Amino acid sequence: MKQSRAPVARIAVEPGRYPEAEDALRRSAFRLGVALAALPDTNQVSSPVSALYALSMLRAGAGTPTAAEMDAVLGLPAEHHAAMNALLATLQYFDGDPVAVDEDDPPGQPLVHLANAVFVPEGGAIGEAFLDALARYYGAGVYPVDFADPATAGLIDDWVWRETGGRVAKAPLVTGADTGLSLLNAVYFAAAWDEPFDASGTDEDAFTLATGTRVFVPTMHGHRWVRHAVGPDWEGIDLPYGGGFFLRLVLPAEGASPAWDEQELLGIADRLDAAESIRVDLSLPTWEHGHDQELIGVLEALGLEKTFGPGADFAAIHPGLRVSGAAQTVSITVAEKGTIAAAVTQLAMMTSAPVPPEVSVSFDRPFGYQIVHEDTGLPLFLGTVADPR
């Protein structure tokens, strides 16, 4: 898949140059994380970083009133494009090819791969300044495509598969002839534990669900040196991978739900960041979860009502363009050797609202059907559906 647009040199902002802006983006990520984790009593996993990158790129094309709402709701600082670039540069040391990872044997040196892309209509209708900003600050590849061609969906899926090592196989949103732009971010993480768990020590242990029901699940066991802290209604540890990464695990008080707001999460982070390491006897279940989430409703509830409404100003991208879809797909596996996780966030835009249907037809009672050859009118198959089961 080729980029036919002249390349724009990506800048490299030195990490720490905008410390206040970088801290503001950290808070933005937690704010998004709370919004994305609205159902704490269900299996769910999200990538606040992926959502933040996608929205930050969208912000590059927002006009004044829309930009003001995004800045206020997400807490985006004035230098947020440069700060995002600096944060990405911090992780660049860990970049690698997700396709090369053996997911049964995660790497001892953590691999963190972030990629951004924008698929645009052929013909150069998208604003050059917007595309320049995406290339300059985010290294986003620009791919001109024909959205009316059914093969385009496959091209986008191929990009998703490649940038997540096949961990996410398909883009979260469906594109079609009415799509005016598709913007994507992918995040891939693979790392072995600093001290792997012995698979022979994994047993079927009891796990108490929120309903009070006890089930038995594969549970890893081991003694580990971890940062450990206790709050008024929580207990947490930081379980290390190599390279300065860790899995932060927070256990709420018995009978409480694992739900915390932005300030509580930041407070937990501060306590654990400052905690001393102690040796603990750890029991941790293995898990493998996937989660698909529609984002427009979540982000509107967060406060981005105008941004996703019909009056949003994205004229810098293309006059009349509005966000028509936003979604995220995430997959994670946590096991004895380490962790593999991947996420894709996709924003789709169209130039006008879909035409409302003139008639509603629901085949909710017995019906007949035919398979007809158009040129001859011959019914190749003809039948009746009395019970679809």
Does one domain contain both 274 and 295? no
Contact 134, 60 (CB under 8 A): yes
pLDDT tens for each residue of 100-132? 999 999 999 999 999 999 999 998 789 999 999
**Averaged pLDDT score across all residues of the chain:** 87
Does one domain contain both 153 and 132? yes
Q: Provide the number of structural domains found in the chain.
A: 2
Using alpha carbons only, how large is the chain's radius of gyration in Å? 24
Does one domain contain both 187 and 221? no
Q: What are phi and psi of 101, to 5 degrees?
A: -80, 135
Does one domain contain both 128 and 182? yes
Does one domain contain both 293 and 280? no
**Could you tell me if residue 1 is inside a domain?**
no
**Could you tell me if residue 383 is inside a domain?**
no
Q: Determine the average pLDDT of the residues in 366-386.
A: 56
Q: What is the pLDDT of residue 329?
A: 95
Which has the closest alpha carbon to 302: 268, 261, 266? 261
Q: With cut-offs at 50, 70 and 90, classify the pLDDT of residue 149.
A: very high
Single-letter amino acid code for the residue at 149: D
Does one domain contain both 123 and 156? yes
Q: Is the pLDDT of residue 196 over 50?
A: yes
Does one domain contain both 153 and 61? yes
**Could you tell me if residue 114 is inside a domain?**
yes
Q: Is the pLDDT of residue 325 over 50?
A: yes
3-state secondary structure labels for all residues of 241-288: ECCCCEEEEEEECCCCCCCCCHHHHHHHHHHHHCCCEEEEEEEEECEE
Q: Pick 329 or 207 by higher pLDDT.
A: 329
Structural domain containing residue 277: 203-285
Q: With cut-offs at 50, 70 and 90, classify the pLDDT of residue 161.
A: very high
Does one domain contain both 186 and 280? no
Q: What is the pLDDT of residue 367?
A: 56
